[in-house]
Structure 1
């Protein structure tokens, strides 16, 4: 098996396991077993479980950024673009295999001094903030990006706590009112 294929198999397996069971509850041996990769091949591609986590966060970040951007690009009007991001979130949190925000799940598990992981999560979350700012810039409302972003994050947390869609719908409603 080529190194890139091994790396991809490990990241795909770890991504599924980290997302579904959590980082702390997923062991290297389980990743090896479920990916079908030999232990020496895994360690040839990754020095540690932390390196696998970083690859997971990078992949999840790229997928999330693309999905949010694609949702917003369905519309021309900035307000509709922002609301489309919330509509995407409404649909996402109702999926059967939705276990919460990848990044918020991980940040709640890692120690405060895990700077490399925190920086990666911060980078992804700043991307969401910047998406809102870029959407709102043409109508000179980019100063609302932080408020919209805070609603977005609050909706994710509220959904995780209550396991219901209403926090996302409430956040969307407030975003709609802010952008009038």
Structure 2
């Protein structure tokens, strides 16, 4: 837990620290950015940072938690529009593609963090795994509503498509990467939907 108990609205200093961490850690990497850089850009003192976070490690976890919350909100917004499960997957995929197309895109914050903190017992790595578990579960639930029999492998396929697009988006033409990703998702969806259509047609005949 953070050194300062968070009740009600976060303090302005904590918000500045977290926003600064979000920007710099994502753009430049975590290990390359020191506490002095964070406090300088956030325009706070080291003492202020330590009133809100036990240290850099806790700030990194908070940074990942913020990224996780943004992704969860994105998924909730897609689901709240009342589309079919397949269209919800499509909308979530378009949101992912939109992030890759952004000029500020530097890959997946969670995959980047896992590469810098490979120890599975480290709090940062555990935060990454918690996010991954949520994302896998969310996608699996969507695919279960499309075709329960093959939901788990389809969801794993989707996550791998997403991970590949996130990695390629840093190294290749973002537009080509996004088009390839979205075509891959559509092919995956059609493979899930087609058996149901075929079964309906067989019963109708």
Corresponding residue number in structure 1 for 2:158? 148
CA distance in 2, matches of 1:165, 1:86: 14
Gaps of 5+ in 2: 1-8, 191-205
CA deviation vs aligned residue, 1:43-102 (integer Å, no higher than 9, x gap): 122121111101100111101221133235445222111111111122211112222211
Structure 2 counterparts to residues 92-111 of structure 1, below 5 A = 92-111=99-118
Structure-2 change in CA distance of 1:157 and 1:75 (3 Å): farther
Gap change, CA 1:110 and 1:36, over 3 Å in 2:
same
1:168 aligns with 2:178: yes
How big is the shift at 1:160?
2.1
Report which of the two structures shows the higher radius of gyration computed on alpha carbons. Answer: 2
Alignment coverage as a number of residue pairs:
179
2:169 aligned residue: 159
Residues 58 and 120 in structure 1, CA contact (< 8 A), matched pair in contact too: yes
Residues 135 and 73 from structure 1, CA distance in 2 versus in 1: closer, same or farther, beyond 3 angstroms?
farther
Aligned with residue 20 of structure 2, among 3, 13, 16? 13
Shift in CA distance, 22/83, structure 1 to aligned 2, threshold 3 Å: same
Q: How does 1:25-174 map to 2 (within 5 A)?
A: 25-74=32-81, 76-112=83-119, 115-141=122-148, 142-143=151-152, 144-174=154-184
The Cα RMSD (Å) is: 2.0
- What is the TM-score when the length of structure 1 is the normalising length? 0.88
How far apart in 2 are the matches of 1:113 and 1:168?
31
Q: Distance in 1 between matches of 2:114 and 2:64?
A: 11
Query: CA shift at 1:140, angstroms?
Result: 2.9
Give the unaligned 5+ runs of structure 1: none
TM-score (norm 2): 0.78
CA deviations 1:110-130 (Å, max 9, x no partner) are: 243562111111111222212
